[in-house]
Amino acid sequence: MKKSLVLAMAMALGVTASAYAANPFSDVPAGHWAYDAVNKLAAEGVVDGYPDGTYGGDKLMTRYEMAQIVAKAMAKGANVDKLAAEFADELDSLGVRVANLEKKADNVKITGQIRASYRDVSGDRDGHEGKLRTRLFINGQVNEDWTYTARLQNEQVYSDEDAEDDAKVNWAFVSGRVGGVKMDAGRMDFVQGDVLDTRADGVKLAYGSDVKVFGWAMKALSDDVASLAIGDEEVFTEDEIKDGASLVEDGDRFYVAGVEANIGAVNTAVKYYNADNLRDQEIWEVALKGEVAKDLTLRGSWFYGDSDGYDGVADRLNESTDNNGWLVGLTYKGAKASKPGSWGLYANYSDRPFSTYLEPTVFSGGYAEYPDGLGAFTTDGYKGFEVGANVTLAKNIVAGVKYADFEGREDKINGTPDAQVLWSEVIFTF
């Protein structure tokens, strides 16, 4: 290192001749021309010696090594403009590399969730099932407007009939804006819980805030939407219907469109569903939701469904079709994972002909269905109630329990079957 370079760097940091008395390096003794300067630079963390305690001032250094020293001096507030200009290319290269690493570290976030659940079914059919879901969520920032989300899930299922273990990436989608339109595209959950709750490949579009217009288009995943195509007179026999026969083919397409608006304290929505599959199904939904008292929310929906597949089965069985369905629900408070001791209650009652739903939340994941499928409710739908409670046991640990009692709507094939389901779950978030 040249004498002028060491002195210039030290002066830029404001060193004085007697600033430091300690001897940091064995080959820079007291009295050496560079003693005070090197001492200052070492104390400030600008220069480092070798493991053997020497400074090695007579050794040549690369331009990148020198650029690192300049960068450290600049970080300490030293005025080294001439040196910065000299090593501009190296500093730029080094700076870009470091900045990118820091940015990527900041822009990728990994979180997780463990969901342990158990259900017991009684009534016309008995059974039980335990399920353990372990999920890792990966969220990445693509740029200021777009993000990427992925979910890796391992699911272990234990029942009185079988045991399964399955691991896969079941979310992989991007989110962002095109002009004023919010867009999600890829593999993700498509949830309008009273009609549809499933995972599929597709796109979501939404525009507006107080008045929001949205549209979804998706392609079915056969392993996730097994109830979407039940009932076609050319495919299923009475016994198959009785046993809960289902058929979903890759490529079946489903569409959802709607408008939501806040009118005072009431949220209103009109939604349209179209299933381009064996059921050839159309559903209209009108929904209202609002707070009727402190922490108490009332909601209700009316449904009109038209299904060629459903009508064909009914005609074949000499049954009349019913196109109108409804539900009403009450919710009080609700558990928040971040707030230990928070809790909630809810109750719903539904009267739903088969033509008014695709795969509602009460069937999603099998919580309110029979262990071997929707067989009890495939020809005329279902009616009944569900009640539930949840509580945050500790931060990020939420427990819940639900009880459902459903029966068929005058189902001649299945003899108006009924099912009672007790379901419990604990969710750990990290």
Question: If pLDDT is split at 50, 70 and 90, which confidence band does 258 have?
Answer: very high
Mean pLDDT for the stretch of residues 207-236: 66
pLDDT digits (tens, 9 = 90+) for 378-430: 556 788 899 999 999 999 999 999 998 888 776 555 556 677 888 899 999 99
Tell me how far apart the alpha carbons of residues 138 and 149 are, in angstroms, rounded to a whole number.
6
Mean pLDDT for the stretch of residues 265-274: 94
User: Fold for domain 110-429?
Assistant: Porin (2.40.160)
Question: If pLDDT is split at 50, 70 and 90, which confidence band does 214 have?
Answer: very high
129 token code pair: 């099932």
3-state secondary structure 214-231: EEEEEEECCCCCCCCCCC
Question: If pLDDT is split at 50, 70 and 90, which confidence band does 234 have?
Answer: very low
Question: If pLDDT is split at 50, 70 and 90, which confidence band does 375 have?
Answer: very low
Question: If pLDDT is split at 50, 70 and 90, which confidence band does 365 have?
Answer: very low
What pTM was estimated for this model as a whole? 0.69
3-state secondary structure 77-137: CCCCHHHHHHCHHHHHHHHHHHHHHHHHHHHEEEEEEEEEEEEEEEECCCEEEEEEEEEEE
210 token code pair: 């107080």
- First-to-last alpha carbon distance for the chain, in angstroms, is 51
Question: If pLDDT is split at 50, 70 and 90, which confidence band does 283 have?
Answer: very high
Tell me how far apart the alpha carbons of residues 414 and 377 are, in angstroms, rounded to a whole number.
8
pLDDT digits (tens, 9 = 90+) for 151-206: 999 988 887 655 566 778 889 999 999 988 999 999 999 989 898 888 889 999 99
Tell me how far apart the alpha carbons of residues 1 and 211 are, in angstroms, rounded to a whole number.
69
What pLDDT is stored for residue 201 in this prediction?
Answer: 92
Question: If pLDDT is split at 50, 70 and 90, which confidence band does 241 have?
Answer: very low
What helix, strand, coil percent values describe the chain, rounded to 5? 20, 45, 35
> How many other β-carbons are positioned within 10 Å of the β-carbon of residue 336?
15
Q: Where are the domains of the chain?
A: 3-86, 110-429
Strands (DSSP E) along 179-223, which ranges?
181-192, 196-207, 211-220
Instruction: Answer left, alpha or beta for residue 124, where phi above 0 means left and psi between -120 and 50 means alpha.
Output: alpha
Tell me how far apart the alpha carbons of residues 222 and 226 are, in angstroms, rounded to a whole number.
6
Mean pLDDT for the stretch of residues 304-325: 66
Question: If pLDDT is split at 50, 70 and 90, which confidence band does 251 have?
Answer: low
What pLDDT is stored for residue 181 in this prediction?
Answer: 94
